[in-house]
Chains A and B, each alone.
Chain A
Amino acid sequence: MLALITGGSGSGKSAFAENRVLSLGENRRIYIATMFPFDEESHKRIERHRKMRFGKGFETMECYTGLKNMKLPKGCVVLLECMSNLTANEMFQENGAGEDTVDEILQGIRHLQEKARHVVIVTNEIFSEAVPYEGETGLYQKYLGELNQRIGDMAQEVVEVVYGIPIYHKKAEIRKGGDG
Chain B
Amino acid sequence: MEMIIGGAFQGKSVYAEQHYPGVHWTSGGKISKEELFCAEGVLGFHQYIRREMRAGCEVRDLAGELIKKNPGIILVSDEVGYGVVPVDAFERAYREAVGRVCTELAGYSTRVVRVVCGIGTVIKHA
List A residues at the B interface (Cβ < 8 Å).
7-12, 41, 125-129, 133, 137, 140-141, 162-165, 167
Q: Are B82 and A12 in contact (CB under 8 A)?
A: no
State in angstroms the CA–CA spacing of A11 and B7 once bound together.
14
Interface residues of B in 67-88 (CB under 8 A from A): 79-85
In the complex, the answer to whether B123 meets A162 with C-beta atoms within 8 Å is yes
Q: Which residues of A contact B98 (CB under 8 A)?
A: 10
User: How many CB-defined contacts (below 8 Å) exist between A and B?
Assistant: 68
Residues of B within 8 A of A163 (CB): 3, 5, 99, 102-103, 105-107, 112
Task: Choose from B5, B84, B103 the contact partner of A133 (Cβ within 8 Å).
Answer: B84
Interface string of B93-111 (1 = CB under 8 A from A): 0011111101101110000
A126–B82 CB distance below 8 A:
yes
Interface size on B, residues (CB 8 A): 26
A10 contacts B95, CB within 8 Å?
Answer: yes
B107 partner residues in chain A, CB cutoff 8 A = 163-164
**Residue among B96, B99, B106 facing the most chain A CB atoms (10 A cut-off):** B99
Residue of A with least CB distance to B124: A165
* Contacting pair A10 B99 (CB below 8 A): yes
Across the interface, name the chain A residue whose C-beta is closest to B89.
A41
Smallest beta-carbon distance B39→chain A, Å? 20
A128 near B7 with CB under 8 A, answer yes
Which residue of A has the minimal Cβ distance to B100?
A10
- By a beta-carbon cutoff of 8 Å, the part of chain B in contact with chain A is 3, 5, 7, 79-85, 89, 95-100, 102-103, 105-107, 112, 114, 123-124
A10 touching B103 by the CB < 8 A rule? yes
Do A129 and B84 touch (CB < 8 A)? Answer: yes
Residues of A close to B3: CB separation below 8 A: 163
Could you list 9 examples of A-B contacts with CB < 8 Å?
A8-B79, A9-B85, A10-B81, A128-B82, A137-B84, A162-B5, A162-B106, A163-B102, A165-B106
Task: Please report the C-alpha to C-alpha distance between residue A41 and residue B86 in the assembled complex, in whole angstroms.
Answer: 13
For A133, the chain B residues whose CB sits under 8 A away are 84
- Knowing A162-B5, A165-B112, the reply to whether A125 touches B82 (Cβ < 8 A) is yes
Q: Which residues of A are found within 8 Å of B123, using beta-carbon distances?
A: 162, 165, 167
